[in-house]
Amino acid sequence: MRPTLFASAVLLLSSGAMAQQPVQGSSVLQDAAYQDCLALVRRNPEEGFAQAQLWQNTGGGLPAQHCAALALVELKHYGDAADRLEQLLPLAEKQAPHLTVAILDQAANAWLLAEQPDRARKLLDIALKAAPDTPDLLIDRALAAAALNDYAAARRDLDVALRADPTRADALALRAAARRQTGDMNGALEDAETALAIEPRLPEALLERGILRLNKGDKRGARADLIQVRLIAPDTPAAISAGQYIEQMDVRQD
C-alpha cells in the first residue's frame, strides 16, 4: 500500500487556505472592493467568481483577476485557476513586482491540486531563485518533488526549511515521510515525534507515526494513532489512508 501523506498534505493547502489568505503587501490588492470580493468568494464561490468577472470587465485589473482566480480554486477548478494565476504574472511584475513570488507560489499550489506537480515544481524553482531559502516555498517544492516520487529532493528542501524554522510541525511531518521513503526509519520516527510535540493533533504526523509503528510491529500504538487521524480529520485523504492501514491490520489478524 502506497502512503498518501503527501497527497493529503497538498489537499490541506487547498482552496480555503488560498482564498482566505490573499496576497498582502500592496494597496493594489488591498482596496475595499478587493476585500469585498474575497469575502464573497469565501461565502459563495460561484457568486464571488461572477462578481470578479463583472469587476474585471469594468476595469478591475489585477485585483479583480486575482479574486477570480481564487474563486476558481474554491470551486475546485484547479487547472483553470493555475492558468489564470500564471497569466497574472506579467501584470503583477508591472504593477506590484514584489508580489510575483507570492503569485508564483499560489499558481504552484493550484497546479499541485490539479495533480500536475511538474508544472508546480518549475514555478517554485523560479520563485526560489527570487526568494532563496524561504520555508513556505521550500515546503511546497518538497510536496511537488514527493508527488513526482523524488523523495530525496523533497528531503533536501525540507532540511533547509527546517534549518530556517525548526518549529514547523507540517515540515517535520513531511520530512518524516520523506525519510521513511528513503529508508531512514529512525529519523522518520524522530521527526514524527517532534512534530507531535509541537502540534499534538496534527493528522499528518499522527498518520506517519502510525505507519512507522505498524512497520515496527507495534500494532496497538499504530491503531491508536490511525484512529486519532480519523477522529481529528474525518473525510480527508489522511483519514482514508488511516482507514486503509487499519483494514490492513484487521485482515492480517483474520
Query: What cell numbers appear for 154 in the block?
Result: 523533497
CA nearest to 249, candidates 229, 230, 232, 227: 227
pLDDT of residue 85: 96
Find the radius of gyration of the CA atoms of the chain: 20
Q: Give the model's confidence band at 99: pLDDT under 50 very low, under 70 low, under 90 confident, else very high.
A: confident
Q: What is the pLDDT of residues 79-89, one digit of tens each?
A: 999 999 999 99
pLDDT of residue 235: 87
At residue 146, does pLDDT exceed 80? yes
DSSP structure string for 153-190: HHHHHHHHHHHH-TT-HHHHHHHHHHHHHTT-HHHHHH
Q: Whole-angstrom Cα distance, residue 24 to residue 73?
A: 18
Q: What is the pLDDT of residues 2-57, one digit of tens each?
A: 334 444 344 334 333 444 444 544 455 557 888 899 999 999 999 999 999 999 99
CA nearest to 224, candidates 240, 236, 213, 238: 213
The predicted model gives 57-84 an average pLDDT of 94
DSSP structure string for 126-151: HHHHHSTT-HHHHHHHHHHHHHTT-H
pLDDT of residue 95: 87
N-term to C-term CA, the chain: 18
Torsion angle of C-alpha atoms 76, 80, 111, 172, degrees rounded to 10: -40
> For the whole model, what pTM was predicted?
0.86
Q: Whole-angstrom Cα distance, residue 251 to residue 32?
A: 57
pLDDT of residue 12: 35
Which residues make Cβ contacts (< 8 Å) with residue 38, sequence separation at least 6? 19, 22, 48, 67, 70
